Every structure is written in C-alpha cells, then in structure tokens.
Amino acid sequence: MHKKQLLKIENISKSFKHNKVLDGICLEVEQGQVCGLMGINGTGKSTLFKIVAGLERADSGKVLYLGQPKTDNQNFGIMIENPNFFGYMTGEENLRALGMLYDNVSKDDIKNALGIVGLLSVSQKFDQYSLGMKQRLYFAFAILSKPKILLLDEPFTGIDFLSVELLSKLIQNMAQQGVGVLISGHQLEQMQSICDKICLLNQGKIVKEIVNVKGIDIKQEFSELVGVVMNGNE
C-alpha cells in the first residue's frame, strides 16, 4: 500500500557567515516511517531540525507538509535542545501550562500522554527529575497535540538505558499509528533498530540514503562516512 508523503525537505541550504552548514539537503518522510539522520558532530543535523521546526530560517529551499509550504507547527511534535519546563511544577502541571499553546488539548490528553511515558503517578517537581524522566516528559509534550510528524533531535543523548528502550518503543508505536518521524542520533544499533531508513550527512550534504536499514552493517557504513570526513580534513 502506498504511504502518504508527510514531510518533504527540498534543497535546503544554510550558511553562518562564510561557513556553509547545509548544502542542498533533500529528504522525505512518509506516513508511518521513521527516518534517521546521522553524521558526526558539526555536520548540520541540529540546524536542519531547527529549520524544519521554524526556529531557523533557511537561506534557500523549502519545507513542505502534505505537499504545501509548512506554515506552522500545528501537526508537528518537537524535541529539539533542552525543554523550557518549569522546575517548580510537576510534570502534569507543566503539561497543563504548556497545553494552553494548543486549541485541542484536554485534561484527558495530558493524563494519557503522561501515562504513555510512565510519569502519570510521579508527584516530584520537574527540577527533581532525572535526565531520563525529563526526556520522557519532553516526549509527552511532543505527542500532546496528537501530531502527524515528530521531530526528534538526539532524544537518547545522556539518558539511562531503560529510558532509551522506553523512548525507542514509544517512537515505534507512534510510527505504527501512522506518524512520520525524523530523528537524529549517535547510538548506531539503537538507530538501526527503530529506523526504516537512514540518511548519512557529511559536510552539509546527504551523501547516502539507506532504505534497507535492517539488512546492513551500520557500523561499517558509519565508519566509511567517518573515513570520508577524516580524509577530507587531511
């Protein structure tokens, strides 16, 4: 069955002063697809996520949602950088406050999101949360408005193994419900286990798109990419 194209990134370029960070990036995310973006630090992954989320402006190119220029984040759930939660509030209180940003979020939606990430019965204030708990609350906020697309920039960085496993399962569950996911990460095996395709980014360009992710040696693919980067810097 043909899956609907949700997100299309078309020839996105971005420079900071004389440093070209992104150079004609093109990629697509379909309904129910998990698309991974991988590369060494400094290759422009976070900049691309910010452009798609509307936090940065591209020098050229387009971001399309359902074939039309993206104008807002109504259908997007976003995890980029550190969340601005209130340290003196509980997770539920935070989601109630931030849920006011949306028109369609109910109390039941908040409780459902907290239940999905295992934080419904947690009464601690946010500033007492572990890093893993903070990331889980951030994911709960990302899915609060029932988005069609998730933008997850390095969601596994610095968190414990159990939180990594939980987030991985939640991401796969969202994809099974038809949500398109664009995710970046460094954990090779983890990315391979959850992604349907992986785009390798080097020097601001996508140098390889791997569709049959489960059937490859991901370490070898990434080692070759790192080798290209090192040779290019010699």
Greater model confidence, 161 or 174: 174
CA distance 131 to 136: 9
17-34 in b/e burial notation, b at 16+ Cβ within 10 A? eeebbbeebebbbbbbbb
Give pLDDT tens digits for 181-219: 999 988 888 888 999 999 988 888 898 888 888 777 777
CA distance 86 to 22: 33
Give, as one character, the DSSP assignment of residue 52.
H
**Antiparallel, parallel or unpaired: β 149-153 and 60-65:** unpaired
Domain-located, residue 59? yes
Domain-located, residue 3? yes
Predicted local distance difference test score (pLDDT) of residue 211: 86
Domain count, the chain: 1
Give pLDDT tens digits for 71-106: 988 899 999 877 789 999 999 999 999 888 887 889
Predicted local distance difference test score (pLDDT) of residue 81: 77
Predicted local distance difference test score (pLDDT) of residue 18: 84
Domain-located, residue 123? no
Domain-located, residue 30? yes
Domain-located, residue 141? no
CA distance 193 to 143: 21
Beta strands in the chain (DSSP E): 5-16, 19-30, 34-38, 60-65, 68-69, 76-79, 149-153, 180-184, 197-202, 205-210
Residues 50-63, mean pLDDT to the nearest whole number: 94
CA distance 46 to 37: 10
Domain-located, residue 44? yes
The domain spanning residue 38 has which CATH number? 3.40.50.300
Predicted local distance difference test score (pLDDT) of residue 233: 44
Domain-located, residue 207? yes
Parent domain of 49: 1-74+180-234
Domain-located, residue 56? yes
